[in-house]
Chains A and B, each alone.
Chain A
Amino acid sequence: MAKRDRMSGNEAVATAMRQINPDVMGAFPITPSTEIPQYYSRFIADGLVDTEFVPVESEHSAMSVCIGASAAGARAVTATSSAGLAFMWELLYVAASARLPITMAVVNRALTGPININNDHSDSMGARDAGWIQIYAETNQEVYDNYIQAMPISETIRLPIMICQDGFITSHGVSNIELLEDEEVKEFVGEYKPENYLLKSENPLAVGPYGISPYYMEAKRQQAQAMKDAMPIIMDVAKRYEKLTGRKYGFFEEYMMDDAEVALVVIGSSAGTGKEAVDRLRAEGKKVGLIKLRVFRPFPRVPLAEAMCKVKAVAIMDKAESFSNSGGPLFNEARNSLYDLPNKPYAINYIYGLGGRDITVEDYYEIYNDLFIIYDTDDPGDVYRYVGVRDSRYAEGGFDHRKESE
């Protein structure tokens, strides 16, 4: 029986954690994820869970606690944001290469420079090549639902997983949510029974050994294969979850895409604002659609490319800047996935929402308007654009990279 409630995204994660009752939590507070260990330590103090809570002196140590616990055969969790995730960097690779199914709630926040506590995706996007599965959420409900699906995915494929949500926007925003009963969650997630682990007396195991040249590359190849093999597992878990809750999940959600002429691809809470723009433009008879990417790692290259090919022009939205001179991380991967297809759409990139810069329904009108110009003129113009930035170069007609390169 679902329970109607209202809570913030951070409380939703802490609640899902309480319902799962993992063995170990390594925790160091950082805004805006601090409330997760805060709520959770209260659950421990109230005797609702018996998780071993290890308060440490840094995120580097929080991830080290998770690695030690997971290698020993325990179910280990943590939560972090921004600089905290950056401080874990070295250990992220250790966790992934040791094939430890650690679950980390990432409350996305900008990386420092200048200091900023607000939301963008530069923290987790920076960690995109660390070998972690990454799942993103639009709403508090999705954060909760994704968290409950995390362990069945990661423990099956033996890869660590990040369950990401937008800092403050969902983490501190209270909204309606449907919760599962504790027993339903426990049954869905199941008990963690690793095949091999450090403390298994009949078959002891070394974790994290030196990988000399004759072995290192095979280990990497197997990690890459595991990420590929995670694709069907993510779908299986989503189907099982749909049976339990009626809520459908996949690699991405297509919103009003069937007869759309132009569309955008976007990650996280801003997809909701985009959907509102779609609703209003549809009410005016404009055929617009939206694709909300839920799973960024593994990158759903083939199905996403097929979905994008339904339209003639697509705007790919990045809430992280790569300083690559060729667009943000989502743009590069999404556009790359189109390369082999014959009827590929024009694909342009918008960098948006850095450091908490708000994106509004009206901003989306502008983007859809730009897409219809491309649709009508068959000229994509500059493909690497910004929205919502104060910069005289972008004031009229956008920044023309072709002029720049001459």
Chain B
Amino acid sequence: MAKRLNEAVEIRWHGRGGQGAKTACLLLADVAFSSGKHVQGFPEYGPERMGAPITAYNRITDEHCKVHSNIYKPDYVVVVDETLLKSVDVTKGLKEKGALIINSKKSPEEIRPLLKGYKGKVCTIDAEKISMDALGKNFPNTPMLGAVVKVSHVIDQERFIQDMKESFQHKFRGKENLIEGNMSALKKSMEEVKVG
């Protein structure tokens, strides 16, 4: 008997060493796990140093995911640092039904010409501004995560907000300004992500 195939939502993260793309990738695995999914979150390691391009991956499935290879045809690509567009072919293999989500002050229309002919959705989010407004510091992880969940619908949005609140309450126990700041950054990014 042939088994039913276990379709995965596959996400590839591009960032620079030290910016927290790996952390964001693992956070997404965490929240997807909390919502009852099977998850994989794994970075691709090499001789990394601060500022060098890094890649991380997520697979999110309903049943246990067997595959242990890297992801070559992602459903979504997340770019945490816009300057990577110059050196990394970020849309390589990206499915046209999927989307590119990029941390940028630019509009999707301004980003598109910088991509190598990608025809799918391009989504931009000014994670730096959102983070600066909400937390007074540039921590792009939380807003990027909010944008990914908003665009990909990979997990239930309300459940996600609730889980993140609990996660922040746990992580920043007693630091109300950080809990509120991160929650506000999360919600704002879910509202402000531009889809083009």
Q: What are 17 residue pairs bridging A and B, where the CB atoms are less than 8 Å apart in the complex?
A: A6-B33, A117-B45, A138-B68, A169-B42, A169-B68, A172-B42, A174-B29, A174-B42, A175-B65, A176-B33, A273-B66, A273-B69, A275-B66, A276-B67, A279-B5, A282-B3, A283-B2
On chain A, the residues within 8 Å of B5 by CB distance are 279-280, 283
Within residues 262 to 305 of chain A, which ones have a CB less than 8 A from any CB in chain B? 269-270, 272-273, 275-276, 279-280, 282-283, 285
On chain A, the residues within 8 Å of B43 by CB distance are 168, 172
On chain B, the residues within 8 Å of A358 by CB distance are 69-70
Name A168's contact: one of B26, B42, B69 (CB within 8 Å).
B42
Q: What's the minimum C-beta distance from A267 to chain B, rounded to whole angstroms?
A: 12
Query: Does B40 belong to the interface (CB within 8 Å)?
Result: yes
On chain B, the residues within 8 Å of A175 by CB distance are 29, 38-41, 65
Name A173's contact: one of B6, B42, B46, B47 (CB within 8 Å).
B42
Distance A206 CA – B118 CA, assembled complex (angstroms): 71
- Given A174-B26, A360-B72 in contact, is the A273-B47 Cβ separation under 8 Å? no
Name B45's contact: one of A32, A170, A269 (CB within 8 Å).
A32
Within residues 1 to 42 of chain B, which ones have a CB less than 8 A from any CB in chain A? 2-3, 5-6, 26, 29-30, 33, 38-42
On chain A, the residues within 8 Å of B106 by CB distance are none
- Given A6-B39, A168-B42, A172-B43 in contact, is the A279-B72 Cβ separation under 8 Å? no
Q: What's the minimum C-beta distance from B31 to chain A, rounded to whole angstroms?
A: 10
Query: Does B64 belong to the interface (CB within 8 Å)?
Result: yes
Chain A count of residues within 8 A CB distance of the other chain: 29
Distance A269 CA – B41 CA, assembled complex (angstroms): 15
On chain B, the residues within 8 Å of A283 by CB distance are 2-3, 5
Distance A243 CA – B67 CA, assembled complex (angstroms): 28
Distance A153 CA – B42 CA, assembled complex (angstroms): 31
Distance A6 CA – B60 CA, assembled complex (angstroms): 13
Q: In the complex, which residue of chain A has the Cβ closest to the Cβ of B48? A: A117
B residues sitting closer than 8 Å to A (CB atoms) are 2-3, 5-6, 26, 29-30, 33, 38-47, 64-70, 72
- Given A172-B42, A175-B40, A279-B2 in contact, is the A360-B69 Cβ separation under 8 Å? yes
Q: In the complex, which residue of chain A has the Cβ closest to the Cβ of B69? A: A360
In the bound complex, do residue A174 and residue B67 qualify as a contact, i.e. CB atoms below 8 Å apart?
A: no
In the bound complex, do residue B42 and residue A279 qualify as a contact, i.e. CB atoms below 8 Å apart?
A: no
Kindly list the 5 A-B residue pairs having the minimum CB-CB distance in the complex, ordered from nearest: A173-B42, A272-B66, A269-B68, A174-B41, A6-B33
- Given A6-B29, A117-B45 in contact, is the A176-B38 Cβ separation under 8 Å? yes
Q: In the complex, which residue of chain A has the Cβ closest to the Cβ of B36? A: A4
In the bound complex, do residue B30 and residue A6 qualify as a contact, i.e. CB atoms below 8 Å apart?
A: yes
Distance A168 CA – B55 CA, assembled complex (angstroms): 13
Distance A364 CA – B29 CA, assembled complex (angstroms): 27
Q: In the complex, which residue of chain A has the Cβ closest to the Cβ of B26? A: A174
Query: Does A359 belong to the interface (CB within 8 Å)?
Result: yes
On chain A, the residues within 8 Å of B66 by CB distance are 272-273, 275-276, 279
On chain B, the residues within 8 Å of A361 by CB distance are 67, 69
Q: What's the minimum C-beta distance from A153 to chain B, rounded to whole angstroms?
A: 26
On chain A, the residues within 8 Å of B47 by CB distance are 117
Distance A358 CA – B42 CA, assembled complex (angstroms): 14
The listed residue with most A CB atoms (<10 A of its CB), out of B5, B33, B68, is: B68
Query: Does A118 belong to the interface (CB within 8 Å)?
Result: yes
In the bound complex, do residue A272 and residue B29 qualify as a contact, i.e. CB atoms below 8 Å apart?
A: no
On chain B, the residues within 8 Å of A279 by CB distance are 2-3, 5-6, 66
Distance A272 CA – B66 CA, assembled complex (angstroms): 5
Distance A211 CA – B29 CA, assembled complex (angstroms): 54
Distance A3 CA – B6 CA, assembled complex (angstroms): 24
On chain A, the residues within 8 Å of B44 by CB distance are 168
Within residues 115 to 158 of chain A, which ones have a CB less than 8 A from any CB in chain B? 117-118, 138
On chain A, the residues within 8 Å of B68 by CB distance are 138, 166, 169-170, 173, 269-270, 272-273
On chain B, the residues within 8 Å of A360 by CB distance are 69-70, 72
On chain A, the residues within 8 Å of B42 by CB distance are 168-169, 172-174
Contact with B along A162-198 (1 / 0, CB 8 A): 0000101110111110000000000000000000000
In the bound complex, do residue B45 and residue A176 qualify as a contact, i.e. CB atoms below 8 Å apart?
A: no
The listed residue with most A CB atoms (<10 A of its CB), out of B33, B46, B47, B69, is: B69
